[in-house]
Structure 1
Amino acid sequence: MTLTTSSKQTTGHVFIAASVDGYIARPDGDIDWLGKYAASGENTGYDAFMDTIDGLVMGRVTFEKVLSFDSWPFKKLVVVLSQTLLQADLRADLDGKVRISSLAPQPLMQALASAGWRRAYVDGGRVIQSFLRENLISDIVLTRIPVLLGDGIPLFGRLAADLPLRHVETTTFASGMVQSRYEID
């Protein structure tokens, strides 16, 4: 995939879990607290969500966390945003699965539109925050995990102004997870 710019736009979509106190990982990036809930077998709609997207956009920190998993979990192309990582730095088994880009969010979304993407799954705390600041997120599916971490990497960061959300639906799960979907107004 060649990333060039175009006048069309790809929409960004978030599907993420956070602790009740708003953290997506421990201060060191560990997500061990998610394991129990991921293994619960409850259908959180992730597979259905993945069926609606054309590919993923994530930051380098999230990408490095995914590399620590037992196997590569994505069937769709992943674009990793990095100012330092190069395509040549990737493991051979990621050829055709991962592309590195140093583009800022707005030109990246235009480039993805040129490549035929309509919907991008935006993942990773800082990347989500930067896309929100540039009004590039259409909706957020946020699953609150019933745990308080007390400290960690926050899901949301500073914004120049309030960002109104429109609640679409909320689903509760037997494990105690609560999932809400919001559209960005």
Structure 2
Amino acid sequence: MKVSVYIATSLDGFIARKDGALDWLPGIEDPESPEGEDYGYHEFMVSIDVLIMGRNTFETVLSFEGDWFYGNKRMIILSSHPVSIPGELSATVVASSCTPAELIEKLAEEGFQHVYVDGGITIQSFLKAGLIDELIITRIPILIGSGIPLFGEIDADIKLRHLQTQSFSNGLVQSRYQIA
């Protein structure tokens, strides 16, 4: 099983403001975005079987206007607190309080092949447990000064192998790393 992260950060390494706001992220309608460019997100989403997302990230995504962003993809919300899942999502979204290792073991037993992990605390816990195989990080050319960092404290160095970097005309830079 492959476990991947696909996420955007400010140039100073934050994934959201301290209050979770994402107002600094450019939208698809950004006039500086190349026409129809999704930075490989659609291709990535087609490759995954299941998403594991933290509760805070899930609640943020629920607040977005429009149709449910993830379609019928199976999603597991990792939280030690109760999670309110809207009825229309209950066929594909479930909550779990398992440890990252327990959850990955369970998903492997169920035959899943590619997992997408999202949410700052969730990503950090999977990294600490040694369960992330690949990081796809898109750096947005903005400094926001403070916020929720992508990476937190770790017990030991985590060596990465650079696989690819692509830059876009609007200044976004996307790098792909494999955990060494």
- The TM-score range, normalised by the shorter chain, is over 0.9
How far did residue 38 of structure 1 move? 6.6
Task: Note if contact 1:141-1:181 (Cα within 8 Å) is conserved in structure 2.
Answer: yes
TM-score normalised over the length of structure 1 = 0.90
Q: 1:73 to 1:60 in 2, by over 3 A?
A: same
Alignment match of 1:25 (pick from 7, 10, 16) = 16
Counterpart of 1:43 in structure 2 is 38
How far did residue 37 of structure 1 move? 6.0
Counterpart of 2:6 in structure 1 is 15
Aligned residue-pair number: 174
Question: Any residues of structure 2 matched to 1:9-158 within 5 Å, and which?
Answer: 10-36=1-27, 39=30, 40=33, 41-70=36-65, 71-75=67-71, 76-86=73-83, 89-158=84-153
Distance in 2 (alpha carbons) for counterparts of 1:129 and 1:13: 12
How far did residue 11 of structure 1 move? 2.7
Identity %: 49
Q: 1:137 to 1:126 in 2, by over 3 A?
A: same
Runs (4+) of structure 1 exceeding 6 A deviation are none
Greater alpha carbon shift after TM alignment, 111-120 vs 18-27: 111-120
Distance in 2 (alpha carbons) for counterparts of 1:33 and 1:125: 17
Counterpart of 1:6 in structure 2 is none
Counterpart of 1:161 in structure 2 is 156
Task: Note if contact 1:42-1:173 (Cα within 8 Å) is conserved in structure 2.
Answer: no
Residues 1:179 and 2:174 are matched in the alignment: yes
TM-score normalised over the length of structure 2 = 0.92
More helix by share: 1
Q: Which amino acid aligns with 2:26?
A: G
**SS, match of residue 19 in structure 2:** coil
Q: Which amino acid aligns with 2:111?
A: G
Task: Note if contact 1:37-1:175 (Cα within 8 Å) is conserved in structure 2.
Answer: no
Task: Note if contact 2:28-2:38 (Cα within 8 Å) is conserved in structure 1.
Answer: no
Task: Note if contact 1:138-1:184 (Cα within 8 Å) is conserved in structure 2.
Answer: yes
Aligned CA RMSD, in angstroms, stands at 1.3
Distance in 2 (alpha carbons) for counterparts of 1:158 and 1:38: 35
**SS, match of residue 128 in structure 1:** helix
Distance in 2 (alpha carbons) for counterparts of 1:162 and 1:66: 31
Q: Which amino acid aligns with 2:14?
A: Y
